[in-house]
Structure formats: C-alpha cells, structure tokens
C-alpha cells in the first residue's frame, strides 16, 4: 500500500477552516520527498461537501466520517474514528493545524500509538527521507529543529499562518471516500456539551485572519483606537497589543501579567514581529 500523510481537517459553521488548508499544504509539500500521498479526513455531520472540497484542493483522497453523533465535537467522538483510520492507513505522519481542537484531541490519538506530537511547528523539510520540523521553544526565543525517531504513525501540528495555503490547486481531482464513525453515544464521555460566547473582551489571535498591531509610537490611547482600531474594523481584523492595566508583549506571545486581561496573542510566523518592537500601548518595558 502506498505511503500516506494524513491531514485531519477542521471545520466550523459548515466551512473548512483555514488551518485545514494549511495542514494540507504542508502535507503536499512533504509528500514527494516521502513518496507519500496526501490524504485528508474530515469528521462531523454532513461533511461530504467538505471532503469533496479537500479532494479538489489537493488531497489525493478525502475521507468523510459522517455521523450525527459527531455534529458536536467531543474528544471521544473524534478519537475513536481517527484512531481506527490511523490504524488502517498507517500514515507516515498525521498532520493538523495547531488549533485548540487539535491540542484537545490529537495527543489522545497519538497516545494510542505510543507516539508524541511535534506540536506547534512553524515549518518542516525533508532531509535524507527524514522530516525535520522547526519549533520555537522558550517562548520563541529559539528555533529547534526537531525530529521523531519513532516508527509511523508520527504526529505533528503546524502553527496557524506558518505554511501558506494559497498555492493549493483548485481542481485536483482526488477521490472521495467515507468511513463509518464506529462511535456509540455511551463512548462519548464529555457530556452536556454547550458552546457559548465567553464573557469579557477576549479574543484568540491564532484564529484571526488579519491581525492589526500598533505600539507606543502612536502616542496615546485615542490615536491607537482611531488608527489601529479603525484599520482593524475596516479590514475585519483583530487588534493585537491592546492592554488595560497589564503589560504583555505580542512578540513573546504571552502576557507578563495574567490577571487583568485575557487577550492573548499566539505566535505566528506571519503575524508575529520577531523583534521586540510590539508592545502594549501603555506598557512599561517587558
């Protein structure tokens, strides 16, 4: 059987998320050197169209795991069919965007195969048949070239925005297949799941399509809100480097005081200033 790289495609509101295409782009980038074919899987209820889209956008095969029980994400609802699929395909790599969902479920699947996850990578290359991922440990102070010396299946996630997806084809012509979820309601242990808007002004920048950032150079809060806020509103973007009483740095991707604001930034190669230039409007030094 041909070798595969399996992409687990996330979706929201009936649409594939950008991260799904980015993970697919990474799979396609690695596939030739590994002599593997990119295969995508999408789980949910009524996900056939999304599977077709993945087959058109560059997956040689797109697998829909369609079940009403998967309409709402639960870790068991995803883990059980994913583990079965991974056992069937024995992929060289299982790739996902480094989303909250991936972090909630992918290590569960990996643990079933006695494998860790090369998480939050910002890129990968193949050298002598071995995939070398770049990660940014120590709060992105360093780049670590990281490998998994274990046997397939191996697992990795890729940071949002790290691999551009705009080079994906539009009419690839991959095949579409399906698998049964094989999950029963009593196997789903996370019960009474309900999703709500969180209270307070919190936003996660990792899922923002556009991030507008500004700093002290703008002078005062009004100018910041006028220019950065106005631009963010005009382009439908999220504002980074906003602070109330705390100080935190966008460059390091985290708050230095966790108490007063829940606004967080995530490191992303496209949005993250690599220097120490991005600071909050009223911050002292980091």
Partner 1 sequence: MKILVAIKQVPDKNARLVLDSAGQGIVETDVTWEINESDRYALESALRIKEAGDGSGEVVAVTVGPERARKAISSALAMGADRAIHLADPDFQNGDPLSVARVLAAVVRKEEPQLVLCGTRSDDAGYGETPILLGGLLGWPAVFLTMGIEVADGRVKVVRELEAARQELSSIALPAVLAVQSGIHEVRYTSLKGIMAAKKKTVDQLTPTELGLSREKIGRFGSRLQVLDLAPPVKKSKCEFIEGKPGDAAAALVDRLRRDAKVL
Residue closer to partner 1 by CB (options 55, 158) is 158
User: Nearer Cβ to partner 1, position 175 or 260?
Assistant: 260
CB of 213 to partner 1, least distance (A): 11
d(CA 181, CA 64) in angstroms, rounded, equals: 9
Nearer to partner 1, 1 or 259 (CB): 259
Which CB atom, from 2 or from 235, has the smaller least distance to partner 1? Answer: 235
| Nearest distance in Å: CB 45, partner 1 | 17
- Cα torsion through 283, 99, 102, 267, rounded to 10: -50
Q: Which residues pair with 22 in a beta bridge?
A: none
Q: How far is the CB of 174 from partner 1 (least distance, A)?
A: 25
184 vs 202 by CB, closer to partner 1? 202
DSSP secondary structure letters along 45-103: SS-HHHHHHHHHTT-SEEEEEE-GGGSS--HHHHHHHHHHHHHHH--SEEEEE--HHHH
Record the tokens describing residue 245, joined without a space: 């009483």
Cis peptide, bond prior to residue 182, ω within 30 of zero: no
Enter the tokens of residue 281.
């409007």
Instruction: Kindly report the backbone phi and psi dihedral angles of residue 109, in degrees, each rounded to the nearest multiple of 5, phi listed first.
Output: -70, -45
Output the smallest distance, CB 114 to partner 1, in A. Answer: 7
The least distance separating partner 1 from the CB of residue 264, rounded to whole angstroms, comes to: 9
């Amino acid at each position: 059987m041909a070798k595969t790289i399996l992409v687990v495609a996330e979706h929201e509101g009936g649409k594939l998320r950008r991260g799904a295409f980015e993970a697919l782009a990474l799979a396609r980038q690695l596939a030739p050197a590994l002599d593997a074919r990119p295969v995508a899987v999408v789980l949910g209820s009524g996900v056939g169209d999304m599977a077709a889209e993945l087959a058109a956008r560059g997956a040689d095969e797109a697998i829909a795991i369609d079940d009403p029980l998967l309409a709402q994400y639960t870790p068991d609802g995803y883990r059980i069919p994913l583990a079965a699929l991974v056992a069937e395909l024995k992929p060289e790599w299982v790739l996902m965007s480094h989303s909250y969902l991936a972090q909630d479920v992918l290590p569960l699947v990996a643990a079933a195969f006695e494998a860790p996850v090369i998480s939050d990578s910002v890129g990968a290359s193949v050298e002598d048949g071995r995939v070398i991922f770049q990660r940014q440990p120590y709060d992105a102070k360093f780049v670590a070239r990281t490998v998994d010396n274990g046997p397939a299946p191996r697992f990795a996630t890729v940071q949002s925005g790290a691999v551009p997806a705009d080079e994906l084809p539009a009419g690839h012509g991959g095949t579409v297949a399906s698998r049964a979820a094989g999950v029963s309601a009593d196997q789903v242990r996370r019960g009474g799941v309900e999703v709500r808007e969180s209270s307070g002004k919190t936003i996660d920048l990792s899922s923002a399509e556009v991030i507008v950032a500004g700093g002290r150079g703008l002078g005062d809060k009004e100018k910041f809100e006028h220019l950065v806020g106005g631009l963010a509103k005009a382009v439908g973007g999220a504002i980074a480097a906003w602070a109330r009483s705390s100080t935190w740095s966008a460059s390091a991707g985290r708050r230095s005081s966790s108490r007063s604001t829940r606004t967080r930034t995530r490191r992303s190669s496209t949005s993250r200033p690599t220097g120490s230039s991005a600071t909050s409007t009223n911050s002292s030094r980091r």
